[in-house]
Structure 1
């Protein structure tokens, strides 16, 4: 599958952007989660979308992959800046509006993009998400699992960031608690690619978790006026499935699809037979 890669100056950052397929087809913009990069969107998953007539864009957000990075522990941007970046990417590519797919923090960015840059959004697909986005804890919704709360309370020591093998091990173990059916070999291979491609891996695995979520926006979701599709893993330990159900309930007309044996993770392969057709239907030209 051929790709076009370019660096785009957006606001005060330079972002690495990859696009696949025919720009004349409906555009799908993929927004990755905190600590991830564009590589976390599987090449084969993208290929399935492109094969049936979608133009797919993925990019490294700030502090990810090959995009602009900031000193570790001192990011100077917030979630609203990431939403503005997404709008800027579309503008730079000459795309008036796109279907937006976001996972976890990327789903929070997608919500803000649809609320604050509505003219750029045709539809949203939100996965592993919570209403109002990460960073705003909703006390009426289920708390993270005991295992995740224990992990937060006793985070493992960070590795020597210059030791490739140690960083790969760290990445693998960082993902393991969030998965329902963990693919050790697959994650290890991906972790190696991430480490080898990332400009500042310490910044990628720290800074996105430190940024400001800004003002809460849960109460604004009822005013979201684009078609919405919500996916949520039945075994999500970070945002238990009640978060996904609440999110879908608060967006007028949203569809909700639970993903069995799925945790807080980017669409694992066993979900594609559900996810891909649903996204294709959701992004059909009017």
Structure 2
């Protein structure tokens, strides 16, 4: 683990592989830490001849927390966003995209392939649209354009996100509470083995649990609005991956994202929900390998850092 200062914040990151190899930047989703990218996924990318950088977004893991943002009312923000009303937040997804680009600059990486999951996919989309000279290719996993009119989370998924553990819950009760949410949102055809699920949740809880940070990130999503107008400006090779059984960000959102980005390839995986189950890691790596090392990416000329 290492830290560096970006936009006045200390961001925690890990760098894997040979720094001389092309870089892949991994951007994780809502409330998730860099360890949410499975180690075998990271190792698989390194085996493909890539260096990998993964990091904790602001307000998560070991990166700085925006405590001045307080504890926002997520329920009220959700209602306002559905009504098309302005939502105020301590920061936006554009700020988080600036963090990711700033991290690349701090590590002296001029350009990178960018892979984002869920909220991380939204951040990655902004990076590709706003800094085309920095993004060699884009992979948007289980994400959305946030265009109005797209289906949202199912009622069960919304309730799971809003449900809070009881006051004074023990560590074991917190793990059980979080595990129930992960099971609900996960891939019905590819359940994560219970022992592994418990281990991952315990590791995340012990490393950097920050419920207020999750709420502030949710506010950032609500305040940032749609990327419908930006996505058609993306010029880099783009791959959109989405689970057919995603109840948090339904598959229609992935289909819409791919339709808005010129030339984007769409891969819908049956039985996949809103997670990266171990049974699908090899398949995801194969899709990314073909994308990053495929004909389109191979034709790209090295770009000057700006």
| Residue correspondence of structure 1 range 30-49 to structure 2 within 5 A | 30-49=26-45
Q: Distance in 2 between matches of 1:268 and 1:73?
A: 31
Normalised to the residue count of structure 2, the TM-score between the two structures is 0.83
Aligned equivalent of 2:219: 210
Determine whether 1:20 maps to 2:16. yes
1:26/1:283 contact within 8 Å kept: no
Distance 1:76 1:12, change over 3 A: farther
Equivalent residue in structure 2 for 1:156, among 153, 163, 182: 163
Query: How many angstroms does 1:234 deviate by?
Result: 0.8
Q: Give the SS at the match of 2:230.
A: helix
Q: Distance in 1 between matches of 2:48 and 2:63?
A: 29
Determine whether 1:278 maps to 2:287. yes
Equivalent residue in structure 2 for 1:55, among 46, 51, 54: 51
Query: How many angstroms does 1:244 deviate by?
Result: 0.9
Give per-residue Cα distances to partners, 1:229-266, cap 9 Å, x unaligned. 0000010112221111111111111111111211011x
Distance 1:83 1:225, change over 3 A: same
Aligned equivalent of 1:100: 114
What count of residue pairs does the alignment treat as equivalent?
273
Aligned equivalent of 1:256: 266
Distance 1:159 1:19, change over 3 A: farther
RMSD of aligned Cα (Å): 2.0
Q: Distance in 2 between matches of 1:62 and 1:15?
A: 7
Query: How many angstroms does 1:32 deviate by?
Result: 0.3
| Residue correspondence of structure 1 range 40-189 to structure 2 within 5 A | 40-71=36-67, 72-73=70-71, 76-131=90-145, 136=146, 138-139=148-149, 141-151=150-160, 155-160=162-167, 163-181=170-188, 182-183=191-192, 184-189=194-199
Query: How many angstroms does 1:215 deviate by?
Result: 4.8
Normalised to the residue count of structure 1, the TM-score between the two structures is 0.89
Q: Distance in 2 between matches of 1:170 and 1:150?
A: 13
